[in-house]
């Protein structure tokens, strides 16, 4: 079932020809994370009831337990209790500012990941949000899928793996020698492709949206007009998944990409 709910407006324009690029490699729409993150508790601090209701409905559908605080003060209390696994905090709240909540929570050693939501019209809000201790940042209007993908990414943030070799199935990425192999086959990667693959391998089995990839791999927070991410991903895919091999990089229709070990 496709849940294409847009909160206000969408974040990223979907490239029109994404599905044509690699026919036959479409997987079914992303249905949610594996059992691992089930029953995670989300604290949603959002004053707009309608937005909150939509976010809650979607989160509950995906198996989250949601706690909603409609005011800054209520949110601050719940954040300090530290019971949630992840927090979604609106930047502008009546009573207490969203960033203040994060700062206070951080001072009290609540180290659960925080996603900051903000209205359009604040270019440098992102910087301040992250400086206050937010872990990710989403500008309203956003697509609900984008929010879910980011929440899941925050919940399953890769622990600082001391291994210098990443492995997914037969795919191996050596971070020291900067080389990649699939089975015995050596893969030649350009620096940017190496970074992209590293990012995906650290987040295997997770839905990664185009906006997330563009932000994390290219470090730019804007919505490119062309299907930039798709083209780069297409190149990486041709290198990772050779014609006679089981595909590992999957497109999720309208949403993003997932790296998965072949079954």
| CA pair distance 261, 251, nearest whole angstrom | 14
Site string for other proteins, 129-158 (x = CB under 8 A): ------------x-----------------
| CA pair distance 128, 14, nearest whole angstrom | 28
Would you say 169 or 234 has its CB closer to other proteins? 234
Mention every residue, 6+ apart, whose C-beta is less than 8 A from residue 253: 18, 19, 26, 27, 28, 29
Instruction: Give the angle 38-39-40 at the CA atoms, nearest 5°.
Output: 95
Is residue 253 a contact point for other proteins (CB under 8 A)? Answer: yes
- Binding residue for other proteins, selected from 124, 160, 163, 188, defined by CB under 8 A: 124
Would you say 19 or 170 has its CB closer to other proteins? 19
| CA pair distance 112, 177, nearest whole angstrom | 34
- Binding residue for other proteins, selected from 159, 177, 226, 243, defined by CB under 8 A: 226
Mention every residue, 6+ apart, whose C-beta is less than 8 A from residue 231: none
Residues 165-204 that bind other proteins (CB under 8 A): 192
* Tokens 């925050």, located at residue: 154
How many residues are given for the chain?
A: 263
Name the percent of the chain in helix, strand, coil, to the closest 5: 35, 20, 45
| CA pair distance 248, 94, nearest whole angstrom | 46
Is residue 31 a contact point for other proteins (CB under 8 A)? Answer: no
Is residue 225 a contact point for other proteins (CB under 8 A)? Answer: yes
| CA pair distance 258, 208, nearest whole angstrom | 6
Would you say 60 or 231 has its CB closer to other proteins? 231
Q: How many residues bind other proteins (CB under 8 A)?
A: 33
- Binding residue for other proteins, selected from 111, 127, 165, 175, defined by CB under 8 A: 127
- Binding residue for other proteins, selected from 169, 218, 239, 247, defined by CB under 8 A: 218
The least CB distance from residue 6 to other proteins, in Å, is 7
Residue 182 has a CB neighbour count (10 Å cut-off) of 19
- Binding residue for other proteins, selected from 231, 245, 246, 262, defined by CB under 8 A: 231
Segment lying near other proteins (by CB under 8 A), choices 43-51, 57-65, 122-130, 149-157: 122-130
Residues at the contact surface with other proteins, assessed by CB under 8 A: 2, 4, 6, 9-14, 16, 120-124, 127, 141, 192, 218, 220-226, 228, 231-232, 234-235, 253-254
């Amino acid at each position: 079932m496709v849940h294409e709910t847009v909160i206000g407006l969408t974040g990223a324009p979907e490239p029109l020809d994404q599905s044509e690029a690699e026919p036959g490699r479409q997987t079914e729409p992303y249905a949610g994370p594996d059992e691992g993150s089930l029953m995670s508790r989300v604290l949603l601090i959002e004053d707009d009831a309608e937005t909150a209701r939509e976010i809650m409905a979607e989160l509950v559908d995906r198996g989250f337990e949601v706690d909603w605080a409609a005011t800054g003060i209520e949110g601050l209390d719940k954040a300090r209790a530290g019971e949630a696994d992840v927090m979604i905090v609106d930047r502008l709240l009546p009573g207490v500012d969203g960033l203040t909540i994060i700062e206070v929570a951080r001072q009290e050693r609540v180290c659960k990941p925080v996603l900051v939501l903000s209205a359009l019209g604040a270019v440098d809000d992102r910087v301040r949000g992250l400086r206050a201790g937010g872990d990710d940042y989403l500008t309203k209007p956003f697509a609900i899928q984008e929010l879910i993908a980011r929440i899941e990414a925050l919940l399953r943030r890769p622990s600082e793996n001391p291994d210098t070799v990443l492995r997914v199935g037969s795919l191996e990425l050596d971070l020291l020698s900067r080389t990649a192999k699939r089975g015995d086959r050596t893969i030649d990667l350009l620096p940017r492709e190496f970074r992209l693959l590293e990012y995906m391998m650290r987040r295997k089995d997770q839905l990664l949206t185009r906006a997330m990839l563009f932000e994390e791999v290219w470090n730019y927070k804007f919505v490119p007009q062309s299907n930039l991410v798709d083209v780069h991903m297409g190149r990486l895919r041709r290198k990772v998944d050779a014609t006679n091999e089981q595909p590992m990089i999957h497109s999720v229709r309208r949403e993003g990409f997932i790296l998965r070990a072949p079954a």
